[in-house]
């Protein structure tokens, strides 16, 4: 993407009512205005679902279309990328969609305790090298953050093309004694996955499928 195109998208994001770009200082100081008050932003008390590392926002928008009685928030640091999802949501008048430009590791400072009903992690970087373990989005540190913001019966979804990430996460969940609701190591060949896993596909997922890479899925709880 050219620099001019990125700049245009950054400017568009500043005008989009469904894009929130908090100041890091406000987040660190605990003064981010929407923390604990996301119901006020959406003007309803419907369940809130996050997509972490949302990329172009395909899952955020796709789920919002299917479930108008839930609110969806995509989070990514790359605003020029989720611009597409934000623009699509505005064009389709999807009032139950928002995007936040921030780092994933700040998620427990963006949302209050038990404010979130579900979390989707879609095709994260598996961070295979051992020294990158701290950056894996399902390591114990991240799971602790998710647990703080999830409701007691909240659910986490992990959809990935990485067999390593799938196996690592399953092993960690079992080791911690956490509830694995469902797991599938090849969702398009083995029956049983939820419809939202099969019917919504991201830009990168389509590329993986063209290369015949298996797509895996885990649904779990942290209580």
- Residues of the chain with confidence (pLDDT) below 50: none
What pLDDT score was predicted for residue 204? 86
Chain-centre distance for alpha carbon 215: 17
What pLDDT score was predicted for residue 3? 75
What pLDDT score was predicted for residue 38? 97
Is residue 108 annotated as part of the catalytic site, yes or no? no
What pLDDT score was predicted for residue 174? 97
Write the pLDDT tens digit of every residue in 131-189. 999 999 999 999 999 999 999 999 999 999 999 999 999 999 999 999 999 999 999 99
Evaluate whether 54 touches 74 at the Cβ level (below 8 Å).
Answer: yes
What the chain holds in terms of domains, given with CATH numbers, is 3-220 (3.40.50.150)
Buried b (16+ CB within 10 A) or exposed e, 178-201: eeeeebbeebeeeeebeeebeebb
Choosing from 12, 25, 125, 153, the catalytic residue is 125
What pLDDT score was predicted for residue 175? 97
What pLDDT score was predicted for residue 1? 60
Query: What predicted TM-score, i.e. pTM, was given to this entire model?
Result: 0.95
């Amino acid at each position: 993407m050219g620099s001019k195109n990125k700049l245009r998208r950054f400017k568009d994001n500043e005008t989009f009512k469904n894009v929130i770009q908090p100041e890091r200082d406000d987040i660190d100081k605990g003064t981010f205005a929407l923390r604990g008050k996301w119901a006020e932003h959406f003007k309803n008390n419907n369940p809130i679902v996050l997509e972490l590392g949302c990329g172009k926002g395909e899952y955020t928008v796709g789920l919002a279309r299917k479930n108008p009685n839930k609110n969806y928030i995509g989070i990514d640091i790359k605003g020029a990328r989720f611009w597409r999802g934000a623009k699509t949501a505005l064009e389709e008048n999807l009032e139950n969609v928002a995007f936040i430009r921030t780092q994933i590791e700040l998620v427990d400072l963006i949302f209050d305790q038990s404010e979130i009903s579900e979390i989707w992690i879609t095709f994260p970087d598996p961070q295979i090298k051992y020294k990158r373990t701290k950056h894996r989005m399902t390591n114990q540190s991240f799971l602790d953050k998710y647990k703080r913001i999830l409701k007691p019966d909240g659910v986490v979804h992990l959809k990935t093309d990485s067999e390593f990430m799938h196996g690592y996460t399953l092993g960690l969940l079992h080791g911690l004694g956490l509830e694995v609701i469902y797991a599938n190591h090849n969702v398009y060949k083995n029956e049983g996955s939820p419809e939202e896993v099969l019917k919504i596909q991201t830009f990168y997922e389509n590329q993986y499928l063209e290369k015949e890479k298996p797509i895996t899925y885990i649904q779990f709880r942290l209580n």
